Structures are given as structure tokens and as C-alpha cells.
Structure 1
Amino acid sequence: MEDPNKEEWLKPMNLEIESMYSNLVWELVDLPDGVKLIRCKWIYKRKRGVDGKVETFKARLVAKGYT
């Protein structure tokens, strides 16, 4: 990540991962032969106040599956 605020993104990213583990979102298994892995990517959003200043940083991990 090359964002100048990259340190600010670490906390919401860790919270997202912790939430996924605590809610049993996924289960790690061996990938069967002939099955493609579903990749994921991070979505970032800065929440701004009425004055335009960044108030919070939000991060979500989403699947990149295509059907």
C-alpha cells in the first residue's frame, strides 16, 4: 500500500479480519484438484465530517468471484 495514511488503515483492516474470524465467515480447507481459488480484495473508504476532514477509515474485504 502506497497511501500516505497507510498506518491509519491497519486498525480497520485488523478489525475486519477479527470480525470475520469471530463470525466464522470462512473455513480453511485444502483446495481440491481442478477447483479455482476465489481471490479477495480490500475496499477502502474515508468517512468525512461536514468540514471535509477525514473522521474515520473503513476497510472491507470482499470476494472477487465471477460467475
Structure 2
Amino acid sequence: MDNDPKTYGEAISDIDSDKWLEAMKSKWTRWFKPSLDPRRPTQGARPVGCKWVYKRKLGADGEVTAFKARLVAKGYTQRPGSILRKPIRQ
């Protein structure tokens, strides 16, 4: 049975919310360092949306060994003919 949160709201309402928040914070601080300049969209561009994806990693005994969080792009929100730039992270 898959009982991982599907949304941010579910993650922060979960009994393990502190672990989900730590997983998100860990991922966020590795990606976005204060020394990096944020990229601004070109005039008329609409940024592609994103969402968090959550997964509990289980050991051989079925016990939770780690809480994973990933920030993924919603590529389906991109408009046809829009200008693509090289992604910051791949």
C-alpha cells in the first residue's frame, strides 16, 4: 500500500511532517545556494510550474530507512512555441 503524501499539504499534515520538511529543506539548500543569481524569465515568458514528490524508502525488514523529497517540473504546463533555455539543474 502506497501511503506517501501526494501533495505538500498532505506532507505537512502527515505524522512524519518533521521528516518531510527536513527532506525538502535538505534538497532545497543543495540546489539553491545564496551565491547563485536567480534566473528571471524573459519578457512574456511563463515559468513552468513544479511540485514536490515524496517517497518513504524501506529497508529489507519493511521499516522506513529514509524520507525522500524531490522538486519536479510540470512539463505539461509548457506552452507550444515557447522559448526554452538551458535548465539550471539536470
The residue aligned with 1:65 is 75
| Greater C-alpha radius of gyration | 2
* 1:51 lines up with 2:61 in the alignment: yes
More strand by share: 1
Query: Is 1:31–1:37's contact at 8 Å kept on the other side of the alignment?
Result: no
The residue aligned with 1:38 is 48
CA-CA distance at 1:36 after TM superposition: 2.0
Structure 2 unmatched runs, 5+: 1-8, 79-90
Query: How large is the Cα RMSD of the aligned pairs?
Result: 2.1
Structure 1 unmatched runs, 5+: none
- Structure with the bigger RCO (C-alpha within 8 Å, sep 6+) is 1
Figure out how many residues of one structure are paired with residues of the other and give that number: 64
* TM-score after normalising by structure 2: 0.59
